[in-house]
């Protein structure tokens, strides 16, 4: 068996997303399954080292991975491990405000780059990372996990089959109630609600909506966005109150180059009464569908009920009952793990990987333009990034 061992510096995996999705459900899961299989006699095996500022947290996270002792190494000395040629890949899932410094240092050290989004808090810095990586000749990629969610993959299958006819519009609803922290514990880090620490719904979620819309429905042409800070005061991890300086909600409309209109409501101040934490309703001339994280339901033109407006009687139509569930026609793996495996194949076998740092910069660009639209209260065109 030929084993391609790939050393990976994993910086910032003590955070919720880094621990659960990237370490436990991706890298550790790949190791447990015996690596990324290339053929019957060839595999890629990750060799991770966890980097952070708190050794106790690193040890706790490593112990929770369920791997044999010694498989997960830890260090608090990032500079030293960046010099180690046994680790050619650098992964960053730190808080957004630390990412540019970390990624830039890794590029300077000649490491291949894979990182969370947003890659920066502004377009200029995000684009500079892509240009630096390109100049250095290192391979690079950004996490765009929602493209491999089962619900989105089912939606893409419907599009590919021509189910919708001409797609007219997309309506996205995302979010849930994030508790303030005074009487009920918070379930998201407090920095998310402080602009000075890189927080904000627009910079967080418009990066997601850019790659999701671009890859599933069409390129974004222009944006109209309204942000809001609905909750003015929250309590941090130590129970100390603080003023919220970042937007916790965003109401965005995108006009696509192909004429499709997309509207996304994103909020940490909404109580869920829908099928999932994220739902996308796609309406077309021949049919409609609603996709969540895992499930997708559809309604064909011939199965569309003919409602008549009459507020004087109870509505006789069961609107939920007229939709059909799209079947699962394959086994769906963890979305983060799928993209990790694609990136590792890109590193070892140079297989195509189009989700690079330029794609990451496009997400930051849309967030920047969303903030500009909000500040100037107008539609803003989305120019091409070079």
Average pLDDT over every residue of 215-238: 98
Check whether 109 has a pLDDT greater than 80.
yes
Is the fold of 2-145+334-354 the same as that of 147-333+365-380? Answer: no
d(CA 29, CA 66) in angstroms, rounded, equals 9
How many alpha carbons fall within 13 Å on the CB side of residue 189? 17
d(CA 258, CA 294) in angstroms, rounded, equals 27
- Give the pair of three-digit tokens for residue 124: 């200029």
Which among 306, 340, 292 has a CA at the least distance from the CA of 153?
Answer: 292
- CB neighbours of 87 closer than 8 A, spacing ≥ 6? 7, 8, 9, 47, 49, 81, 111
What pLDDT, on a 0 to 100 scale, did the predictor assign at position 386?
Answer: 74
d(CA 293, CA 339) in angstroms, rounded, equals 16
Average pLDDT over every residue of 161-165: 98
Per-residue pLDDT reduced to its tens digit, 133-158: 999 999 999 999 999 999 999 999 99
Average pLDDT over every residue of 212-223: 98
What pLDDT, on a 0 to 100 scale, did the predictor assign at position 58?
Answer: 96
Residue 1 — very low, low, confident or very high, per pLDDT cuts 50/70/90?
Answer: confident
Per-residue pLDDT reduced to its tens digit, 337-379: 999 999 999 999 999 999 999 999 999 999 999 999 999 999 9
Q: Which CATH number fits domain 147-333+365-380: 3.40.190.10, 3.40.1010.10, 3.40.50.300, 3.30.360.10?
A: 3.30.360.10
Check whether 26 has a pLDDT greater than 80.
yes
User: Top-level CATH class of 2-145+334-354?
Assistant: alpha beta
* Structural contact between residues 58 and 15, judged by C-beta atoms closer than 8 angstroms: no
Residue 32 to residues 15, 23, 36, 71, Cα–Cα distance (Å):
22, 12, 10, 11
Per-residue pLDDT reduced to its tens digit, 59-71: 999 999 999 998 9
* Domain locations in the chain as residue ranges: 2-145+334-354, 147-333+365-380
Phi then psi for 127, rounded to 5 degrees?
-70, -35
- Give the pair of three-digit tokens for residue 32: 């447990």
Model pTM score: 0.94
- Give the pair of three-digit tokens for residue 277: 């934490």
What pLDDT, on a 0 to 100 scale, did the predictor assign at position 267?
Answer: 98
* Structural contact between residues 102 and 92, judged by C-beta atoms closer than 8 angstroms: yes
* Structural contact between residues 33 and 39, judged by C-beta atoms closer than 8 angstroms: no
Q: Backbone dihedral region of 66: left (phi > 0), alpha (psi from -120 to 50 degrees) or beta?
A: left
């Amino acid at each position: 068996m030929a084993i391609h061992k790939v050393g990976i510096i994993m910086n910032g995996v003590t955070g919720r997303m880094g621990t659960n999705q990237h370490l436990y459900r991706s890298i550790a899961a790949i190791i447990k399954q015996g690596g990324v299989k290339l053929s019957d006699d060839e595999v890629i095996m990750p060799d991770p080292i966890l980097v952070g500022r708190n050794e106790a947290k690193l040890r706790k996270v490593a112990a929770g991975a369920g791997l044999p002792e010694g498989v997960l190494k830890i260090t608090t000395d990032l500079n030293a491990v960046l010099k180690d040629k046994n680790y050619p890949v650098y992964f960053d899932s730190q808080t957004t405000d630390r990412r540019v410094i970390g990624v830039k240092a890794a590029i300077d050290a000649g490491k291949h780059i894979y990182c969370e989004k947003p890659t920066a808090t502004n377009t200029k810095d995000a684009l500079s990372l892509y240009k630096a990586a390109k100049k250095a000749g290192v391979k690079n990629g950004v996490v765009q996990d929602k493209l491999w969610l089962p619900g989105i993959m089912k939606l893409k299958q419907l599009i590919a089959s021509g189910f919708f006819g001409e797609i007219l519009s997309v309506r996205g609803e995302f979010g849930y109630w994030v508790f303030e922290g005074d009487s009920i514990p918070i379930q998201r880090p407090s920095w998310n609600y402080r602009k000075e620490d890189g927080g904000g719904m627009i910079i967080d979620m418009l990066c997601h909506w850019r790659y999701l819309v671009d890859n599933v429905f069409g390129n974004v042409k222009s944006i109209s966005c309204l942000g809001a800070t609905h909750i003015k005061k929250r309590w941090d991890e130590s129970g100390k109150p603080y003023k919220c300086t970042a937007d916790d909600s965003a109401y965005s409309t995108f006009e696509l180059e192909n004429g499709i209109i997309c509207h996304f409501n994103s909020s940490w101040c909404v109580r869920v009464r829908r099928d999932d934490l994220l739902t996308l309703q796609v309406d077309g001339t021949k049919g409609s569908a609603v996709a969540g994280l895992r499930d997708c339901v559809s309604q064909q033109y011939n199965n569309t009920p003919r409602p008549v407006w009459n507020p004087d009687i109870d509505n006789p139509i069961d609107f939920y009952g007229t939709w059909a569930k799209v079947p699962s026609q394959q086994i769906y793996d963890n979305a983060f793990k799928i993209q990790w495996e694609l990136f590792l194949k890109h590193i070892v076998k140079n297989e195509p990987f189009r989700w690079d740092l330029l794609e990451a910069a496009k997400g930051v660009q849309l967030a920047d333009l969303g903030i500009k639209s909000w500040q100037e209260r107008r539609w803003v065109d989305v120019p091409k990034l070079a």
